[in-house]
Every structure is written in C-alpha cells, then in structure tokens.
Structure 1
Amino acid sequence: MINADPQELAKFGELAHRWWDPESEFKPLHQINPLRLAWIDGLCPLAGLTVLDVGCGGGILTDSMARKGANALGIDLSTKPLKVAQLHAMEAGTANVDYREIAVEALAAERPASFDAVTCMEMLEHVPDPASVVRACAELVKPGGWVFFSTLNRNLKSFLFAIVGAEYVLKMLPAGTHEYARFLKPAELAAFAREAGLELHSAKGLGYNPLTQRYSLNSDTDVNYMIACRRPA
C-alpha cells in the first residue's frame, strides 16, 4: 500500500500548470518560501549539501535549495506537478536539481542515510499515515543531519484561520485544500519524530497579516508551524 490519498494527488495534479504562477492558488507557497528557506539555511547552511525535499510538488522549495548551492532531489507521487518542476528547472537553468516519482518509504529502503538534510513541508496533513512519512525521513537523513517539517496545528484557531479564513473568506486557497481532521498538533508531530529516533531542535510559527498581506516567522505555533529535528550523530 502506498501512503497517499488518490484524491489529494488528483487535486494537486489538476492545478499543476499553475504551480509557478505567483498570483495563482499557489501564491501563499511563493510568499512563505523565502521565509522557510532562510530559516532552514540559517540552521543548516545548504551550500554543498545533499538534500531531499519530500512531497515537493512543483518544486518551489526544491529549486530554491538548489539555488542556495545544494544538490537537491525532490520527490512526489503526483505526476503532473513533477513534470512542471522538471520543466521549470530546465527553463530556469537550475543546476544540481533532480526529481523522482517515488514514495518516501520506498526511497528510504533504497537510499538510507543518504542525505545531509530532509525537508517535508506542507505535506503531512495530506497523507493517511503521517507517522510513516516521519519515520522514512528519519531513515533517509545521515547521522548528524537535519530534518525539517511544516504542517498545520489542530485547534479551533487553526480551523478558523486556515480553513474558514484562508479558503472561504480571503479565498487565498481553493476551498477543500485542507481537511481539518488531518491537521497535527505539535505534540503529536514531536512524538512521531522522537519515535523515529530524531531529536527536536526548535520550532517556528508562521503568521499572516491580512492587512499587509504579508507572512512572518514568529513563536506562535497555533496555526502554521515548522519544526527542526536532528538525527543523533
């Protein structure tokens, strides 16, 4: 059994051609990417590292890590976004980036302890078994390496902000982008990480100001949040 939801893959596949349009449904990803890239690169300088981006979609983060000097591999199970990512890399002339259609669990069996850093951003809330993804990410990173996750908290505030606000009021995302029941509390994600043998390093919240239409990193993990982990050396 592949740890993926066919409806989720189809949903993002249908939007694939708009992935690199900064004014499309993917505008929030384009806006937050510089923030999360800077946070990752600040903790784990990417230049010269071998990095893996799990659930890469159209490759926004993967491409930007390669442009920071990393040797980047992006993986996903949705065919159309991967083709968009490959086409963008060709058109933009991005060096040191590659993409594969493979499940993270399958890649973990094929290439354990192969990457200096693994990122899995905005993906855990879209899969049936997020703990399996966390375990695979832990297996893929080298001892001493970094693993970064981002997802959505599960509480009333996140429901109001991330679903009601973002999808129905501000229409920043297509209605139905997220399923509240799949959101993960930070304590749940931290437990998955510890069970996978990772050590938690730090966490960051991601806030949005609807007046300025700008995102910022902060310490509030009530809605969108990221965590950094390390595999013990």
Structure 2
Amino acid sequence: MNLLLSTSLKCSRHIRPSLRCSATRYLQTTINKDEINHFSKLSSHWWDEKGEFGLLHRMNPVRVQYILEKLQEVEEAENTVSSSSKYLNGRALSGLDVVDVGCGGGLLSEALARLGANTLAIDASESNITIASLHASKDPLLTGPNAKLEYRHTSSEELIKESRRFDVVCSMEVLEHVDNPALFLHSCCDLLKPGGHLFMSTVARTPLSYFLTIFMAEQVLRKVTPGTHHYDKFVNSEELVNFFHEEMGWFTGVPGRLQAESRGIIYLPWKDEWILAGRNDPFTTECNYMFWARKPL
C-alpha cells in the first residue's frame, strides 16, 4: 500500500471542515501546473484519432456505455419498471444536467450532449477549451440555438462557488493528474445534486498498470508521450471505495450496486478496442477502470 497516496485521499485535519463549509475547503487548489502545461502542449492532437489520444477515442464508447447502463439500472431499480426503451434511443440523457470535469478536447462532452444532456464541460487548460470549442463549432447540432453543450475554462473548485448543481458529474482520466485528490473528489461531490451520480475513470496503482500504461504505452510503443502518467498518483478502486465510505459517509460497510461500483475496462490490442469487464470478472480493476458512486438523497 502506498501510504502517501492513501493519506492524500483524506483531507488533512486543518483543511477538512464540515460539508457545509465548502467556501473554506477550496482555499487550496487541485490544479497541477506541470500537468496543465503538459496537456496544453498536446491540445492540438485531441481530435486526431490515430494520434496521442487515439486510445481515449476508442475508450469513449465504453465510457458512454457504462454511464447509460448504470443510469438505467438505478432507474429501473427505483421505478420497478423497465426503462430500456429510453436508454436505447438517441436522446437517452434528455433533461439531465451534466458537468464533464477535466473535459480535455471534449470527447465525452460531445457524446453526452448528443445524447440530450444539458452539458457543461470545464477544463483548467485554456488551450483544451479552445480546441474543444473549435471542434464543436463545426457541428450545428452542438452550436445552434438549441445546443446542449457549453465549454468553460475553469476548475471544479471555482465552479462550486456558483449555485448550479448537476444530476451527473463525469471526470474521466483526471484523478491521476491532480494535486490534492481528496479535495478534487470533494469538489466533484459538492457539484452533485442529492441523489446525483458521479462517474470517473482512472488507473489503478499496480505492477500491471505500470507495465501497461508507463512501460509499454509510453516507453516502448510510444503511444503516449513519456511523462504523461506518474505511478505514485494512480489510485486503486478500493481506495476510492474507502474514501466514499470513511471520508464522505455515503454508505456503510460494503456498498451495494446502487451505491457504488468499480468496473474494469480492458484494451484488446488485436482488435484495437476497449471492452467493459463483467462485474464478477477477477483482477479486471488492476489497470484502467470505471468508478461510479451515488450521492445520498
């Protein structure tokens, strides 16, 4: 166990106020300037499907698949009726307010907006927002009078100062790039309405993840720019579960499937595609994985 990382998921005593005191909680920042500079330099490559972010392009459908499946599962459990027809149509997220935190070039943001969500996409890198906005401007469905997509150059800590709250908060491949991960998680949670859904994807801190994401992807295959990932900033799924159990108090004991869940996402190089692992498949959260938790009502 990496004690430094495990400890970093807990707010230190002098900065951890009650959940009512969000104004003082965010006196510190989660933005890592080196990380922002790194991704700003790469921002022009966001929409090159064969370039730096090609693996994320191919991961994006799996992200969307998991979001839709989980929302459907929760809705059906609560309503005791099937909602499958809603989630099979092209506007499955219609009426939901969604924020994509750390949106990068807008890969997920555009997909959410096309599914009908009122989507706010934010990023701490101004150049990322510029590229994302430019790409969206080419599609009249994303920029017209009924557009569902808005981009803003800001952070979750800044956005929390506003009164706007969301049904769904997404943050994909961001947690492993921030400073103060506990504060970042708090800000994402505070952006949620009661009963809202938090969706994240990140990388576990295991020998397998080091081999695949750093040694192979960065150093050998050069699929990703060297220095993009830092092993000591990776977060294991059980650490996230413990954070929401002990720090946030969102559930007690082992969370049920309607409270929190981790699901592995696996890259198949011979198919050049990602798949969502089954719930009970062993060892599938040892590298890339999705994490979902629901804020109590």
- The TM tier, using the shorter chain, reads over 0.9
How many corresponding residue pairs? 232
Letter in 1 for 2:41: E
Within 5 Å, give how 1:141-220 maps onto structure 2: 141-194=192-245, 195-199=247-251, 200-218=259-277, 219=281, 220=284
Letter in 1 for 2:162: E
Structure with the larger strand share: 1
2:83 equivalent to 1:83: no
Per-residue deviation at 1:208? 1.2
Query: Are the aligned partners of 1:135 and 1:192 in contact in 2 as well (CA < 8 Å)?
Result: no
Unpaired runs of 5+ residues, structure 2, are: 1-27, 72-91, 252-258
Match of 2:294 among 227, 230, 233: 230
User: What do residues 190-230 of structure 1 show as CA deviations (whole Å, max 9, x unaligned)?
Assistant: 22233234454222101112222221111410000111110
Within 5 Å, give how 1:14-25 maps onto structure 2: 14-25=41-52
Within 5 Å, give how 1:41-80 maps onto structure 2: 41-44=68-71, 45-80=92-127
Over the matched positions of the two proteins, sequence identity in percent amounts to: 40
Q: Could you state the TM-score of these two structures normalised by the residue count of structure 2?
A: 0.75
Letter in 2 for 1:29: L
For the residue of structure 2 that corresponds to 1:229, the secondary structure is: strand
Unpaired runs of 5+ residues, structure 1, are: none
For the residue of structure 2 that corresponds to 1:35, the secondary structure is: helix
For 2:189 and 2:214, how far apart are their aligned partners in 1?
A: 30
Q: Could you state the TM-score of these two structures normalised by the residue count of structure 1?
A: 0.95
Largest Rg, 1 or 2: 2
Extract structure 1 runs of 4+ deviating beyond 3 A: 197-200
Match of 2:66 among 39, 46, 68: 39
Letter in 1 for 2:266: G
For the residue of structure 2 that corresponds to 1:91, the secondary structure is: coil
For 1:197 and 1:109, how far apart are their aligned partners in 2?
A: 23
